[in-house]
């Protein structure tokens, strides 16, 4: 059954958004950083967090580095907010699906104009 990992992933996502917006003071993470998805392993030991940021590839990489550097702080904040015995190890990844979708839409729009 995947009900518990999915429920915990949604709770982590909700709290993570609040932590990133209010608690993180790193200038690399400022701006439009959004958490697009959270996947938790079945044993609840790891959580992959997919983030998206508007801007250039360099600014997205910097935001990812800032979040990776703050992972310990974020994990401790999550442990305070969530009622869990242990908080999963956080793994941050860039989510390029929005850009990929925009690229496909541009291609399709170009085909329809011909």
10-residue mean pLDDT series, the chain (114 residues): 80 92 87 88 93 86 92 92 89 85 85 76
pTM: 0.81
3-state secondary structure of 90: strand
pLDDT score of 2: 64
What distance in Å separates the CA atoms of residue 96 and residue 12, rounded to the nearest whole number?
Answer: 21
Q: What is the pLDDT of residue 71?
A: 93
Tell me which residue has tokens 């329809």.
Answer: 112
Q: Two tokens at 34?
A: 């959004």
The answer for residues whose C-beta is within 8 angstroms of residue 39's C-beta and 6 or more apart is 9, 47, 48, 50
Q: Which CATH number fits domain 3-113: 3.40.50.880, 3.40.50.720, 3.30.300.20, 3.40.1030.10?
A: 3.30.300.20
pLDDT tens digits for range 2-30: 678 889 999 999 999 999 998 888 888 87
Helix (H) or strand (E) holding 47: strand 46-53
No. of helices (H) and no. of strands (E), the chain: 4, 3
Domain definitions of the chain by residue range: 3-113
pLDDT at residue 93, rounded to an integer: 94
DSSP letter string, 33-46: EEEEEEEE-TTSSE
Contact 67, 92 (CB under 8 A): yes
Q: What's residue 25's pLDDT?
A: 87
Q: What is the pLDDT of residue 1?
A: 43
């Amino acid at each position: 059954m995947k009900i518990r990992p999915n429920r915990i992933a949604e709770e982590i996502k909700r709290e993570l958004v609040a932590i990133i917006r209010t608690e993180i003071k790193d200038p690399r993470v400022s701006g439009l950083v959004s958490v697009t998805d959270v996947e938790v392993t079945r044993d609840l030991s790891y959580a992959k967090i997919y983030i998206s940021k508007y801007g250039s590839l360099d600014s997205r990489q910097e935001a990812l580095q800032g979040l990776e550097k703050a992972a310990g702080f974020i994990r401790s904040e999550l442990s305070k907010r969530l009622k869990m015995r242990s908080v999963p190890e956080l793994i941050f990844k860039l989510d390029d699906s929005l850009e990929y979708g925009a690229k496909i839409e541009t291609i399709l729009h170009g085909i329809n104009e011909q």
